[in-house]
Structure 1
Amino acid sequence: MALLGAQLVITLVMVSVIQKLSPHFSFARWLLCSTGLTRFLYPTDQELRTVAGIQKEKTKKGKHAENGKAADVFQIPRNLDITLENAKVSTMDVVHLKFYTDYVWLMDFSIYTGVVYSLTEIYNSWYPIKDEINLSMLWCSLVLGFSFKVLLTLWVQYFKGEESIGERSTCIVTGFAYLLVAMMVLIIDENTLEIGLEKAYTSFNHSASIFLENQGMSSTGPASKIIVKFVLAVWCGFLGSLFTFPGLRVSKMHWDTLRYYKDKKILMLFANLSYASPLFLVTLWFKPISRDYLTARVFSGMTDPLMTTSAFDSMRLIAIIVVVLLKLALMPVYLQSYLNLANQRLDVQKKEAGRISNIELQKKIAAVFYYLCVVSLQYIAPLIMCLYFAIMYKTLGGYTWEGIYKEVVYEECSIDESPLASTILGADGEKTVAQSAQELQLAISSLKHIFTVEVFRGVLGFATWWSCFTLFATTSMGMVYQSYFSNI
């Protein structure tokens, strides 16, 4: 109970910090406004008229009247030589952007959750959790929920309007493609891909059967293995569909980064390492080329393997954190590459023939900055999901950062043997408030017997690996797309 009290104190303090600090400082806002990002300004009507040599016409009475003003629409050549001015991104610029509040909330809440989790882990190292609930896992669950909600909101935008037919078809096709891939992954032997679902299903089925028998219901298990794997495959396909356009966007930004910063060799090195890092994370779950190679093979001149089994498990978790931090550090570079898209659009337009209206040109330039927060969400939301799946995998799976297992042993669920079972009902057969609380505590205790460490290792381990795999697959597909169309 002391640990639970300490967790409540940490939670209350952090809630107070969020209320007091967030209006004055925001890490999300700092990334956009204090890292040197530069946006391109669209040319005004007067500038376009001057460059194109067009005289301003006198407004005829009643022509294109709107709110008491005459609309100033004129045509200019597409190949007009225009130079865009730039300006530093400021706070007043970003507050009006689309999905700005969603971006700030997701990024800042993720940071606060990381602080809560770190403080809980430090306290837990001195006073280990036994029967209390780890409240930091509730925070992590909220972060995953918010990330999923944001990605779903962006995904739904492609199903609105008649202009998004291509994007809508891409989401549907990739969703079914990832569903097929997930079905193939789920039949791979555990000795090749150690996702741990077989042990998780066996443990859950056994514990749930005992629980149902103690409740007077005969059962061989709550669900068949095929149904469980099919549900997981559907979830995998849907998550892959959500990650599709974020992956394509990141690939486009990486492609432009390689072009804009080709003279900065060190930056290019870290950018390429960051881009290829999801592939490294994915291979860490393939036993023959990762665990067996590092924990079983003894190299010449050595008496022991390079790593112990527990150290390897901790290394996988630390590797995910390092990759996410590296990508977060490079985020301003990628966002600047995205903002440079305004100038890139103008350069492409100069090679085209024909004419374009001033309004259409201005919208084409302004839209790049208008969707800056959308692009930021597409960049960070998949990373946040990978990170917090890994954190929950570490904590609920019974691992530590030092490479030592927490030996957590759960007894089989038995309602009759519980000391609380005999106190559920009062002498007159009616429940009191205290007895209802005891019944709730007994129900939670029973659930802890059902959802064992093996269950969490299987489910969260698979979720962690699949999120990393989807991140790698979508960015790879995006790079193939960029390579193909850049050569046409």
Structure 2
Amino acid sequence: MALLGGQLVITLIMVSIIQKLGSHCSIAKWVLCSTGLKRYLYPTNEELKNLAGIPKEKHKKGKHPENGKVPKSFQIPRNLDITLETAPVSTLDVIHLKFYSDFQWLLDFSIYGTMVYIMTEVQLLCHIVPLNLYHVWCCLVIGFSFKVLVTLWVQYFKGEESIGERSTCIVTGFLYLLIAMMILIIDENTLELGLDNAYTSFNHTASIFMKNQGLSSSGPASKLIVKLCFAVLCGFFGSLLTFPGLRVSKMHWDALKYYKDSKILLLLANLSYVSPLLLASLWIKPISRDYLTVRIFAGATKPIMTPSAFESLRLIAIVVAVLLRFALMPVYLQSYLNLANQKLEIQKKEAGRISNTEFQKKVAAVFYYLCVVALQYIAPLIICLYCAFMYKTLGGYSWEGVYKNLDSEECPAPEPLPEPKTFINDEEKTIAQTAHEFHLALSTMRQIFTIEVFRGIFGLATWWTCFTLFSSTAMGMLYQSYFKSV
């Protein structure tokens, strides 16, 4: 109860921080407005007329243009020599952007969730508590990230102009479904996701729990059905990350071109790009665990690492990779904003004419979708980070290389709930009594969802997120290199 009370105090502190400082101190606003991002400004109608040699319209004497009247459209050559001016991105510019509120809420709330997680880790001093309030924060952050990705994904299924994007999402979804089905049949000695142990533990504990409740059951669904459900979820998640991966690969391709003179930045960018592949390889047993925890090299008396230290290495590597990508976020966003100038250079090589409004929309659209691109960049990273947090705490691991040993004891009988007290009204029910009942309900769930079950679920979630982060960007890089060669 004391631990639960401490968690309640931390939650109340964070809620007050969100209410008081959320509107004045925003990490999302700082990323967009205080990291040196520059947007491209489209030329006005007068500037376009001067460059194209179009004479200005003379107003008749005594008549003035009506307020709010849209100026007439005119045509300009596509190969017109135009130089776009730049301006720093300010707060007044971003508050009107599409999905800005979603980006600000998601990034800021994930930062607050990370603060809750750190505060709780310090408070618990590495004692494993299978279910606690900071897990609720983690689930909320993951849920909000999924909601944002689904919202962006649904946009491709609206309107007749997005037929190509819609078909791409469907095709990649089925492709990832096929890949997930092949991965889930790989033996645990090769790819250690922990699903087999998770199914065995859940089947055992669920059967005992149902017998204790007086229900006759032979256990949950078969392993084939369970893995098929996981494969469907993996395929859907892969479809969600299709266009975010294509976008990140395009920004990475452009960043390598714009920052080719900075060797350190290029090194960090390339390391950030391949980091999901390196993380996914840590779950391949022959090239990771066996190499680091079993093999004894010449001149040594024991392996490089212990199994517990290897588990901690995987978790720390995920945190470092996510932090590196977050640190490079302004570089990638600036590479995206430079797309306006790229479109202009491509247009100069085309023949024909274009209207002034169409040209201005082409330049303005790049900055208009800045927050959409930022969400596509940050949302998958947040999911990866918080899946790792859940994998660490619910899986019984630690940051110091010590983890909780699994026991094979049978599921104990559920703790009986105390006799309910009679209250005159609901106000007499104290917070402590509510917390106690909530704690008993969670204790009952702990009898079914053991550490092995959580290791299997979040081990798969963490590994699949890392895998799709790399595979989606790899497809985008192949796409970029193909069109570059053509």
Question: TM-score, with normalisation over the residues of structure 2?
Answer: 0.94
Spell out the pairing of 1:272-421 with structure 2 (5 A cutoff).
Answer: 272-407=270-405, 412-415=410-413, 418=415, 420=416
Q: What is the CA–CA distance in structure 1 between the aligned matches of 2:290 and 2:92, rounded to whole Å?
A: 54
CA shift for structure 1 position 134: 1.4
- Which residue type is aligned with residue 188 of structure 1? I
Answer whether contact 1:324 1:387 (CA < 8 A) is retained: yes
SS of the equivalent of 2:216 reads: coil
Q: Percent identity?
A: 70
Answer whether contact 2:293 2:306 (CA < 8 A) is retained: yes
CA shift for structure 1 position 216: 1.6
Superimposed CA distance per residue, residues 124-171 of structure 1 (whole angstroms, 9 cap, x where no aligned partner): 007x3558x411110000000000000000000000111000000000
Superimposed CA distance per residue, residues 152-199 of structure 1 (whole angstroms, 9 cap, x where no aligned partner): 000000001110000000000000000000000000000000000000
State whether structure 2 residue 196 is matched by structure 1 residue 198. yes
SS of the equivalent of 1:483 reads: helix
State whether structure 2 residue 169 is matched by structure 1 residue 176. no
- Which residue is equivalent to 2:425? none
Q: What is the CA–CA distance in structure 1 between the aligned matches of 2:469 and 2:2, rounded to whole Å?
A: 40
* Higher deviation after alignment, 112-121 or 435-444: 435-444
Count of residues paired in the alignment: 475
Answer whether contact 2:76 2:355 (CA < 8 A) is retained: yes
* Higher deviation after alignment, 4-13 or 400-409: 400-409
Q: What is the CA–CA distance in structure 2 between the aligned matches of 1:84 and 1:426, rounded to whole Å?
A: 73
SS of the equivalent of 1:86 reads: strand
Cα gap change, 1:313 to 1:440, in 2 (>3 Å): closer
- Which residue type is aligned with residue 37 of structure 1? L
- Which residue is equivalent to 2:53? 53
Q: What is the CA–CA distance in structure 2 between the aligned matches of 1:81 and 1:184, rounded to whole Å?
A: 54
* Higher deviation after alignment, 440-449 or 110-119: 440-449
- Which residue type is aligned with residue 53 of structure 2? G
Q: Which runs of 5+ in 2 are unaligned?
A: 423-427
- Which residue is equivalent to 1:188? 186
State whether structure 2 residue 120 is matched by structure 1 residue 120. yes
- Which residue is equivalent to 2:24? 24
Q: What is the CA–CA distance in structure 2 between the aligned matches of 1:436 and 1:371, rounded to whole Å?
A: 45
Cα gap change, 1:408 to 1:14, in 2 (>3 Å): farther
Q: What is the CA–CA distance in structure 2 between the aligned matches of 1:31 and 1:110, rounded to whole Å?
A: 14
Answer whether contact 2:129 2:394 (CA < 8 A) is retained: no
- Which residue is equivalent to 1:211? 209
- Which residue is equivalent to 1:76? 76
Superimposed CA distance per residue, residues 79-114 of structure 1 (whole angstroms, 9 cap, x where no aligned partner): 000000000001111000000000000000000000
Answer whether contact 2:129 2:393 (CA < 8 A) is retained: no
Cα gap change, 1:337 to 1:317, in 2 (>3 Å): same
Identify which of 220, 224, 227 aligns with 1:226.
Answer: 224
Spell out the pairing of 1:122-161 with structure 2 (5 A cutoff).
Answer: 122-125=122-125, 128=127, 133-161=131-159
Cα gap change, 1:66 to 1:243, in 2 (>3 Å): farther
CA shift for structure 1 position 72: 2.0
CA shift for structure 1 position 2: 1.1
Spell out the pairing of 1:404-483 with structure 2 (5 A cutoff).
Answer: 404-407=402-405, 412-415=410-413, 418=415, 420=416, 423-424=418-419, 442-483=440-481
Cα gap change, 1:221 to 1:23, in 2 (>3 Å): same
Answer whether contact 1:410 1:452 (CA < 8 A) is retained: no
CA shift for structure 1 position 446: 2.0
CA shift for structure 1 position 67: 7.2
- Which residue is equivalent to 1:92? 92
Computed over aligned residues only, the root mean square deviation of the Cα atoms, in angstroms, reads 2.2
CA shift for structure 1 position 59: 7.5
CA shift for structure 1 position 467: 0.5
- Which residue type is aligned with residue 40 of structure 1? Y
Q: What is the CA–CA distance in structure 1 between the aligned matches of 2:384 and 2:444, rounded to whole Å?
A: 29
Question: TM-score, with normalisation over the residues of structure 1?
Answer: 0.93
Q: What is the CA–CA distance in structure 2 between the aligned matches of 1:439 and 1:381, rounded to whole Å?
A: 35
Superimposed CA distance per residue, residues 49-101 of structure 1 (whole angstroms, 9 cap, x where no aligned partner): 000000133589xxxx9975143200000000000000000111100000000
SS of the equivalent of 2:241 reads: helix
- Which residue type is aligned with residue 169 of structure 2? C
Answer whether contact 1:214 1:414 (CA < 8 A) is retained: no
Q: What is the CA–CA distance in structure 2 between the aligned matches of 1:252 and 1:301, rounded to whole Å?
A: 46
Q: What is the CA–CA distance in structure 2 between the aligned matches of 1:319 and 1:232, rounded to whole Å?
A: 25
